[in-house]
Amino acid sequence: MDPYQAERERMVAYQIASKGVKDEKVLAAMRKVPRHRFVSEDAQAYAYVDSPVRIGKGQTISQPYIVALMTELLGVQPEHRVLDVGTGSGYQAAILGELAAEVHSIERHPELAETARATLEALGYKNIQVHVGDGTEGYAPAAPYNRIIVAAAAPSVPQALLDQLSEGGRLVIPVGSRYSQQLEVWVRRGDQYQQSSNIPVVFVPLIGKQGWQG
C-alpha cells in the first residue's frame, strides 16, 4: 500500500471536503492521484500540506483545495476532451485524466513539460498529452474542447480559449491583476458566453501573446 494513502485521505477530509467540495468523483480522484510524485524528492514531505509547493522555474503546484475546487467547477464528464493550460508538475492533468476521456495539457517551460510528461508516463496515464507552447493561444490541433482549465492568472480571458470551446463548453480561469484575481467560469452558448462565479484567488501570471507580456 502507498505510504502516502493516509495523508491523501486526511488531505481530502480536512482541506477539501470540509471546505465544501462535494463532487464524489473529484474527491475520489484527489484520494487516488499520488501528489508526492509530482514534486521533487526533497519536497515530498510537503506534498500534502494545505498550500502550494515549489516545482522549479519559479512555479508552483497549486494548493490541493484550489485544484479540487477548480475541477469541481469544471464539471468534467467521462466522454470529455479537456485542455489544461499551465501543466506545471502535471498534477492537475492527472486529476483530469482520472475524469475525462482525453486531456491535452500545455506548458510554456519545456523543462517543466518534460518532467511532467515523464511523471505521467511513469504513472501509466495514456489519455494525457503534454505539449510545449503558449497556452494563451489554446492548442488548436485538438480543438474544440468540452472543458478548458487555466492554472495561471490572466489579465483578461484569452479570445483563443473562448473560440476553442465546443457548444455548451466550459472554461475555468483566474482573471485579474498580477497579484489577485477572481476565479471565473465561462460557458459557451452558440456565439454567446455566460460568465459566473467570482471566488478570490492568487495565481502566478499567465505569460504569453494573449496574457501578460513577461
CB of 151 to ligand SAM, least distance (A): 4
Q: Is 19 in contact with 11 (CB distance < 8 Å)?
A: no
Q: Given the complex with ligand SAM, which of 151 and 175 has the nearer CB atom?
A: 151
E strands, the chain, are 53-56, 59-61, 81-85, 102-107, 128-132, 145-150, 165-176, 181-189, 192-201
Q: Given the complex with ligand SAM, which of 86 and 176 has the nearer CB atom?
A: 86
Q: Given the complex with ligand SAM, which of 50 and 189 has the nearer CB atom?
A: 50
Q: What is the distance between the alpha carbons of residues 150 and 148, in angstroms, rounded to a whole number?
A: 7
> Residue 116, by phi and psi: left (phi above 0), alpha (psi -120 to 50) or beta?
alpha
Binding region for ligand SAM (CB under 6 A): 59-62, 85-86, 88-89, 91-92, 106-109, 112, 134-136, 151-152, 203-204, 206-208, 211
Q: What is the distance between the alpha carbons of residues 142 and 153, in angstroms, rounded to a whole number?
A: 23
Q: Given the complex with ligand SAM, which of 23 and 137 has the nearer CB atom?
A: 137
CB of 208 to ligand SAM, least distance (A): 3
SS3 at position 119: helix
CB of 36 to ligand SAM, least distance (A): 13
Instruction: Look up residue 212 and give its three cell numbers.
Output: 501578460
Burial class (CB in 10 A: 0-12, 13-18, 19+), 29: buried
Nearest residue relative to ligand SAM (C-beta): 86
Of 62, 89, 105, 156, catalytic: 62
Indicate if 62 belongs to the active site: yes
CB of 10 to ligand SAM, least distance (A): 20
- Residues identified as active-site: 62
